[in-house]
């Protein structure tokens, strides 16, 4: 039996081979380490104004930010190689953290902090400036954001604690954002609920959770690869939030935006 299990188990070598020969296969999270191409991701999602998933976030995030209390620390969980949510919060929080699971993405974030990244964020920055209502502010956005960034952390939504804190960083955030992450790294509804709980535990009581994602979809593609996405409905997503101690129904503390199957929600964590 053990021998059979060993033969069926997918080895790192087999993953590399499957990935190289991938002819339209939908890759799941087990392939992230080898298949997630940081440069291709940035190019496919962050160089085109018309990219709908990002347009959705950039359209509504400034409104959400404007409604939240000022100060404290925020973390973009599963940020990938992206800085844009930190940019949206640059004036409203005191400290910004980025967290991601993959080393290639954390390396890109560190390169950006050190001004060594080759990626040109200007298309995204101009879009954010446009929604913030100050067209020329994009020129100073990266510097303003860098001045608030305190670290790039490792995270894994399937673990508790889901964020690895260095010894000099206190636990807990006033605001956690996460976009297009949880449904890509969970394979079942149980895992999705667990991931939301693990992330929500890192929010201080009374803090805020802002999540963007895709409803009723099973895959997305970038960099010429297809990645699996957990099929979730709006009602299931809201249940996962409620079960994690987040408000999903209070009109005063919850904002929910939806466009063409994509959503952006801001929910408050219950105060103890
Ligand atoms: C589709 S990307 C989204 C990146 C970014 N948030 C954005 O909106 O462009 C999904 C991200 O989930 C991260 N990820 C993969 N497995 C994860 C896990 N177990 N826990 C947390 N994040 C994970 C990947 O590293 C990747 O950066």
> What domains lie within the chain, and their CATH numbers?
43-268 (3.40.50.150)
Q: How confident is the model at residue 151 (pLDDT cuts 50, 70, 90)?
A: very high
Given a cut of 60, whether residue 22 has pLDDT beyond it is no
The three-class DSSP label of residue 190 is helix
Map tokens 């959503």 to a residue: 263
Evaluate the omega torsion of the peptide bond into residue 4 and state whether it is cis, within 30 degrees of 0.
no
Q: What is the pLDDT of residue 99?
A: 98
Give, for 84, the enclosing helix (H) or strand (E).
Answer: helix 84-88
Candidates 175, 180, 178; CA nearest to 202 is 175
Distance (Å, rounded) from C-alpha 25 to C-alpha 271?
Answer: 44
Residues 154-193 have pLDDT tens digits of 999 999 999 999 999 999 999 999 999 999 999 999 999 9
Q: How far does the centroid of ligand 1 lie from the alpha carbon of residue 13, in Å?
A: 23
**Longest CA pairwise span in the chain (Å):** 65
| CA-102 nearest atom, ligand 1 | 25
Backbone torsions φ then ψ of 37, nearest 5 degrees? -95, 110
Residue 70 is encoded by which pair of tokens?
Answer: 């000022």
Average pLDDT, the chain: 90
Given a cut of 90, whether residue 198 has pLDDT beyond it is yes
Looking at residue 159, the DSSP 8-state letter turns out to be: S
Given a cut of 50, whether residue 262 has pLDDT beyond it is yes
Average pLDDT on 67-76 reads 97
| CA-184 nearest atom, ligand 1 | 10
Q: How far does the centroid of ligand 1 lie from the alpha carbon of residue 64, in Å?
A: 22
Given a cut of 50, whether residue 5 has pLDDT beyond it is no
Q: Which of 31, 55, 78 to mutate to test the pocket of ligand 1 (most atoms within 8 A of CB)?
A: 78
Residue of higher predicted confidence among 225 and 212 = 212
């Amino acid at each position: 039996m053990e021998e059979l299990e060993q033969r069926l188990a997918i080895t790192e070598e087999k993953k590399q081979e499957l990935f190289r020969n991938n002819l339209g296969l939908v890759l799941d999270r087990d392939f992230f380490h080898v298949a997630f191409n940081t440069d291709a991701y940035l190019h496919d999602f962050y160089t085109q104004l018309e990219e709908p998933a990002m347009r959705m976030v950039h359209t509504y995030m400034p409104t959400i930010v404007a409604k939240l209390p000022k100060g404290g620390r925020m973390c973009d969980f599963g940020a990938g190689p992206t800085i844009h949510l930190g940019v949206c919060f640059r004036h409203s929080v005191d400290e910004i953290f980025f967290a991601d699971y993959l080393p290639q993405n954390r390396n890109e974030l560190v390169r950006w902090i050190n001004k060594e990244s080759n990626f040109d964020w200007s298309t995204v920055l101009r879009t954010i400036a446009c929604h913030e209502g100050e067209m020329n502010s994009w020129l100073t956005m990266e510097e303003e954001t860098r001045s608030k960034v305190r670290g790039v952390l490792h995270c894994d939504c399937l673990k508790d604690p889901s964020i690895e804190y260095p010894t000099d960083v206190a636990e807990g955030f006033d605001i956690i954002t996460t976009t297009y992450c949880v449904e890509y790294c969970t394979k079942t509804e149980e895992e999705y609920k667990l991931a939301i709980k693990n992330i929500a535990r890192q929010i201080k009581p009374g803090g805020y959770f802002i999540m963007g994602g895709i409803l009723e979809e099973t895959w997305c593609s970038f960099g010429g690869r297809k990645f699996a996405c957990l099929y979730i409905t709006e009602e299931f997503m809201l249940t996962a939030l409620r079960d994690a101690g987040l408000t999903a129904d209070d009109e005063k503390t919850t904002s929910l935006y939806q466009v063409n199957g994509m959503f952006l929600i801001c929910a408050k964590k219950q105060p103890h």
